[in-house]
Amino acid sequence: MERENPIFAENEREANRYSCRCLQVMALIAVLAWLLNLVDVFIVPTVVMNAAMPICIAAFLLPTLLLPRMDRLGGGFKYLIMGCCILGITVLSVAIPKHTVLAWIAPVLLSCHYYSRKLTASALVASVVCLCAAGIASLYVGEGDPNLIEAFHMEEAVITPEIFREAVLFFLLPRSAILVGMAFVCITVAKRTRNLLEKQAEDSAARQHIETELSVANQIQADMLPSIFPAFPERPEFDIYAGMTPAKEVGGDFYDFFLVDDDHLATVIADVSGKGVPAALFMVITKTLLKNAVQMGLSPGEALEKVNNQLCENNEAEMFVTVWLGIYEISSGKLTAANAGHEYPAIRKAGGAFELLKDRHGFVLAGMENTRYREYEVEIGVGDTVFLYTDGVTEATDGTNTLYGTDRMLAALNRDGDLGPEALLQQVKEDIDRFAGAAPQFDDITMLSFQRKQTEAAKSIRVEPILESLPRVCEFLEETLEEYGVPLKVVNQVDIAADEIFSNIARYSGAVRASVSCKVVENRAIIRFSDDGTPYDPTALPEPDTTLSAEEREIGGLGIFMVKKSMDRVSYAYLDGQNTLTIEKGW
């Protein structure tokens, strides 16, 4: 039993040490008594004392000597301690029985440290047996007890059977009975303490379980935020970076960004009211709903309205969330955004400084049903940078509870002129850390920034969408790609893809105008086919079954399937009345 629980194993070691210390004190008292007797303060016969005390002191000190070997002796050590204690007291009792009455409770009391009923009960039985034995022995050899026999010194006493009977019946028996009664108090204490310890161990295991789960939840929440950067290495048109420094407790800040389609980047930054698990759960719901709404093709204002109503439906907890949602059109640089009670975004025009964009705030999400959210548009020029943040930034505090504030934030943003998103976020974070010093921060610090980048203009040609234009298209692609030193194999694959895509346009689209553009970014060719024909997404075509036999095979759909298989990325968008199919191939 006692081996099972590490708490009890540890307690037993502690109790062993503690018991040894108690026995040392008892040994010290025995030495004092011996000395006082030698200088005639006590008047016990010297012969008796000289014989009893060394044995008694040795018995008390033996466990201390063996203490370093405690581990080797294991569970037996505590019985050794009890044995030594009882032996010492027994010897003492034989010598001076009338002074040692109280001492008999010592072994039982000591055993209480072990929280073991068995040990305390064993100590009690041994004590009672030894008490009686010592009592009887003391009649013949001890100092004598005037309560037991009339003679003060044993040498003068005559132990008649009558005296013996009286001593046993009227003294040893009641003393033993009292000892048993007191020992039961000790047994109860041992048992109760043991139960308490067991319960405490259970509670601590349960708490540890909850803590583990919370930390997993925390991790899941953190993993929900896109955190691999560069996030879109294949998109040289913009650069985006975001980060969250969580406060101690799980919080409700989040950011998100994703491509809605080939030409639209959605960015979200939000802060859920409150903290802890409720805020984290609300954050997960909000993030998911927002992404769904935006991916359905809703504009920022519409998306906020829809999500607001969804969140309001079952919001018994009266939580709310502030959100800034922007959809950035990559080709034109047009940013459409709506703000549901979130902090003002900061925007820097290329070559300029960051300024807050005092956009019109709508009400927070989940606050009130059917709230309207006004959309606005901002032109993001090449080199312009947008910076979004939560109140964890502006409300970071220093040791004197001064707020960091937007002025300090803008100053930090503008300190080093022309930083990219990642360096920018780092700079602000460092500034906040410097400002806050050792003061604990209570809110997550969340920031997101994106910048429109200069991209190399793609080469393009306009061609008539007829099959006869195909050689021109291939020629244009080959020339452009060879100019960049693209490997021949890739050129061939692009040619095959162009053959498939362009022949489709020529045959089926009904277009009157078509164009092909081509550019190479690092080790990646990006080719875009545009036509003004009927909207048609070839990427949505079901894949052909390539396992059929020659007789069963249909050739339809094989072309675009080959394109999908040979290119790294094929994406379709219908933009400004044009079918736009973009293929990418790296090497």
Binding residues for other proteins, rule: CB under 8 A, are 467-468, 470-471, 489, 492-493, 495-496, 499-500, 502-503, 544-551, 553, 555, 558-559, 561-562, 565-566
CA distance 23 to 96: 19
What is the smallest separation between the CB atom of 366 and other proteins, expressed in angstroms? 49
Q: Which is nearer to other proteins, 33 or 560 (CB)?
A: 560
Helix (DSSP H) and strand (DSSP E) numbers for the chain: 16, 15
The number of angstroms, rounded, from the C-alpha of 136 to the middle of its chain's C-alpha atoms is 68
Q: Which is nearer to other proteins, 3 or 553 (CB)?
A: 553
Q: Which is nearer to other proteins, 89 or 490 (CB)?
A: 490
Q: Which is nearer to other proteins, 150 or 475 (CB)?
A: 475
CA distance 406 to 425: 15
Q: Which is nearer to other proteins, 400 or 549 (CB)?
A: 549
Q: Which is nearer to other proteins, 507 or 513 (CB)?
A: 507
Rounded alpha-carbon distances, angstroms, from residue 421 to 80, 387, 410: 72, 8, 14
Within 10 angstroms of residue 457's Cβ, the number of other Cβ atoms is 8
Burial class (CB in 10 A: 0-12, 13-18, 19+), 51: middle
Q: Which is nearer to other proteins, 372 or 507 (CB)?
A: 507
What is the smallest separation between the CB atom of 519 and other proteins, expressed in angstroms? 22
Q: Please give the biggest Cα pair distance in the chain.
A: 142
CA distance 278 to 283: 9
Within 10 angstroms of residue 322's Cβ, the number of other Cβ atoms is 22
Q: Which is nearer to other proteins, 350 or 470 (CB)?
A: 470
Q: Report the length, in residues, of the chain.
A: 587
Amino acid at 506: A
CA distance 182 to 542: 88
Tokens of 566: 């040979």
Q: Which is nearer to other proteins, 471 or 577 (CB)?
A: 471
What is the smallest separation between the CB atom of 513 and other proteins, expressed in angstroms? 20
Q: Which is nearer to other proteins, 315 or 503 (CB)?
A: 503
Residue 122's nearest CA partner among 107, 104, 105 is 107
> Using an 8 Å Cβ cutoff, are 452 and 420 in contact?
no
> Using an 8 Å Cβ cutoff, are 229 and 422 in contact?
yes
- Name the pairing type of β-strands 238-245 and 514-521: unpaired
Place of tokens 């906020």: 304
CA distance 9 to 428: 52
What is the smallest separation between the CB atom of 242 and other proteins, expressed in angstroms? 38
What is the smallest separation between the CB atom of 583 and other proteins, expressed in angstroms? 14
Q: Which is nearer to other proteins, 119 or 581 (CB)?
A: 581
What is the smallest separation between the CB atom of 546 and other proteins, expressed in angstroms? 3
Q: Which is nearer to other proteins, 357 or 470 (CB)?
A: 470
What is the smallest separation between the CB atom of 568 and other proteins, expressed in angstroms? 14
> Using an 8 Å Cβ cutoff, are 151 and 74 in contact?
no
Within 10 angstroms of residue 171's Cβ, the number of other Cβ atoms is 18
What is the smallest separation between the CB atom of 458 and other proteins, expressed in angstroms? 24
CA distance 567 to 584: 6
Give the full edge-to-edge strand order of the sheet including 264-272. 253-261, 264-272, 321-329, 334-340, 375-379
Amino acid at 296: M
What is the smallest separation between the CB atom of 429 and other proteins, expressed in angstroms? 47
Q: Is 388 helix (H, G, I), strand (E, B) or coil?
A: strand
What is the smallest separation between the CB atom of 530 and other proteins, expressed in angstroms? 19
What is the smallest separation between the CB atom of 578 and other proteins, expressed in angstroms? 22
Q: Which is nearer to other proteins, 93 or 480 (CB)?
A: 480
Q: What torsion, rounded to 10 degrees, do the Cα atoms 270, 275, 278, 284 define? A: 30
Residues whose CB is less than 8 angstroms from the CB of residue 475 and which lie 6 or more positions away in sequence, other chains included: none
What is the smallest separation between the CB atom of 473 and other proteins, expressed in angstroms? 11
What is the smallest separation between the CB atom of 547 and other proteins, expressed in angstroms? 6
